[in-house]
Amino acid sequence: MADQTFRLPDLGEGLTEAQLVAWRVEEGGRVDVNTPLCEVETAKAVVVIPSPWAGTIHKLHARPGESVAVGEPLVTITPVEATQAEATPGTLVGYGPGAPESGIRRKARSAPAATESSSDVRAAPFVRQLAKDMGVDLAQLTGSGPGGRITRADVEAAASSPAATAPAATDGERRISVVGIRKAIARQMLRSVSTIPQFTEFAVFDATNLMAAREEGKASGRSMTPLPYFIAAVVKAVRAFPLMNSSWDESRDEIIVKQPVNVGIAVNTSQGLLVPVLRDAEQLQLTAIAEKSAQLIEGARAGTLPPNQMSGGTITVTNVGASGPVETGTPIINPPECCVVAFGAIKPRPMVVQGEVVARSGAWISISVDHRIVDGALATEFLTALVTELESISA
């Protein structure tokens, strides 16, 4: 039978390319249908691509670290004589009838790669190559990944530290290849500031009731972070001002007001900023918001979320004060959304209560909005409603 070339499939969500992370096979090796061929990193996740045919690997068309466009050759396979069962369509994992929406099988990050070295150092092949290129000794690192696995972020942090052993160039410069998720973030942010006329407004809210509700929840065994309270308040404010839950259709110069409130949650991960989406948040009670958002955040940091759980947001929240004493910031809109809401650190601050200055828990809020859709007056009304919702929280 003639050799067959398998091309990088459309991985869904409008993605046009992927970076080859590691091969799971080698030239001359035997594969069956659904044998993992390789790991690729897209703009949203790391996935494993299975073989569509049984046969012998004739040629690998890309090297780890290279970007491969959708439709470009990935691997050429010399097929074996197919049995009737093998010839039946629709049996490939991740493709055909019953395939998941993402069109590809997800990688289980907690499992070691098949090609990983048997040494004591736990790191994927592409991480080992990155360490080699950057002159980083993996044996000297403590991995921050699952089971002590060394991640790309660990290598990059070590390379940028004063103790880094080998500079990339004689003039002290170091170049980092921008691919995959980091490249997607760069493109998205450039699109935001280049195409959306956005402005930002700020406010401070009294978090006394919110903190009291948290303490009462802890006492009853229902502990949660401030984030679910933030999300619930944003949803209520959006229901009062639905234009904040919209997008601009550039092709038709129309505003599209969205019915469901799908809240994107900005999450800092070792791969960069990811935004998993809490869908239909307007239908969820506070406890469900807490549970589902925690699962999304954990999945984003572990790299186990499929692409369809990181798209389709209608408004985004970011807790800029979650990891430090950051007061506030000017968040950048996540296209094609209309609004992003940023919450600063909750801490004691002077407030005027009944004519007297007292110390109370409070935090800054900042919202950035698309000025094509929202004018300053509406943004102020929305922000005022959001403050009111937060200050009226009850246990």
Domain assignments of the chain as residue spans, ordered by start: 4-106, 109-177, 197-391
Give the pLDDT mean for 294-314: 89
Intrachain domains 4-106 and 197-391 with the same fold: no
Q: Are 155 and 137 in contact (CB under 8 A)?
A: no
pLDDT of residue 97: 35
**Class of CATH domain 4-106:** mainly beta
Looking at the annotation, which residues are catalytic?
A: 371
E runs forming strands in the chain: 4-7, 17-23, 30-31, 36-41, 46-50, 55-60, 67-69, 73-79, 105-106, 198-206, 246-249, 254-257, 263-265, 267-269, 272-274, 277-278, 315-319, 339-343, 347-353, 356-370
pTM for the whole thing? 0.64
- pLDDT beyond 90 at 308: no
Q: Sheet holding 30-31: strands in order across? A: 4-7, 73-79, 55-60, 30-31
> pLDDT-based confidence at 168, cuts 50/70/90?
very low
pLDDT of residue 130: 72
Number of other residues whose CB lies within 10 A of the CB of residue 86 = 14
CATH architecture of 109-177: Irregular (4.10)
Q: Could you report the per-residue pLDDT of 260-293, keeping only the tens digit for each?
A: 999 999 998 877 889 999 999 999 999 999 999 9
Pick the CATH number of 197-391 from 3.30.559.10, 3.40.50.300, 3.40.1160.10, 2.40.30.20: 3.30.559.10
